[in-house]
Amino acid sequence: MTAGPDGPVTIVVVDDHPVVRLGLTGLLATEPDFQVVGEASSGTQAVDRVRVLRPDVVLMDLRMPGGDGVTATERITAEFPGVRVLVLTTYDTDGDIVRAVAAGATGYLLKDAAHHVLLAAVRAAAAGETVLAPPVAARLVTRMRNPPAPALTPREHQVLTLVARGMSNPQIGRELLIGEATVKTHLLHAFEKLHVNDRTAAVTAAIARGILPPPQEPTIQDE
């Protein structure tokens, strides 16, 4: 049921609250270039509706019983690349935003958005444009500028801590009761995770990302 180039934008509304679905459907119905062709109350049901209706845009809630919106978005965009998923939710946490965008959502709006903003976002999504609420865009930019600290293993953390204290690889090996080659292996893994090439850069990066506390008197030995 996907609309042609001159037809209305076909839409499926997905939300587990009937009142929300009713309100969204009523709002969208006021626009002559929109046609709500279906509704769903869960992510699983949304995927089924899309398979049958092939809409242009899916207005997708995120957290629903019976199948969440992120999983549904991932399945829909993988199976039907031409269908645009516009997330409409009350949640603006970093994790929710990143998961939805990574799943293939074209846009991410909050439910407190003004009516005209939502209508414009649906039209933009149908045209293949990315639509992000200003707070969401700001969170994504901040996250990109300050990526989360990489997860070092406990042993990698131990080795890097001792490097920051100025210990050489042989000294670290004796301290941790492991071979020098093993120390080097742990260091190389830490280098890779921190995107650095030497011990000094690794310690500097780890301190900058909060993985290690700033040493009082750094005496890092390069080898």
* Model pTM score: 0.63
Q: Please check the confidence at residue 199 and state whether its pLDDT lies above 90.
A: no
Task: Return the percentage of the chain with pLDDT > 70, whole number.
Answer: 87
Q: Does CATH place domain 9-145 in 2.40.110.10? A: no
Say which CATH class 154-208 falls into: mainly alpha
Using DSSP's 3-state secondary structure scheme, residue 199 falls into helix
Q: Which tokens in the block code for residue 177?
A: 């009761």
193 contact partners, CB below 8 Å, separation of at least 6: 150, 151, 152, 156
Render pLDDT for 30-50 as a digit per residue (tens, 0 to 9). 999 999 999 999 999 999 999
Q: Please check the confidence at residue 7 and state whether its pLDDT lies above 50.
A: yes
DSSP 168: -
pLDDT for 12: 98
Q: Where are the CATH 1.10.10.10 domain residues in the chain?
A: 154-208
Distance of CA 157 to CAs 29, 111, 176, 205, 215, Å?
57, 42, 12, 13, 14
Render pLDDT for 67-120 as a digit per residue (tens, 0 to 9). 889 999 999 999 999 999 999 988 877 678 878 888 889 889 989 889 999 999
Q: Please check the confidence at residue 203 and state whether its pLDDT lies above 70.
A: yes
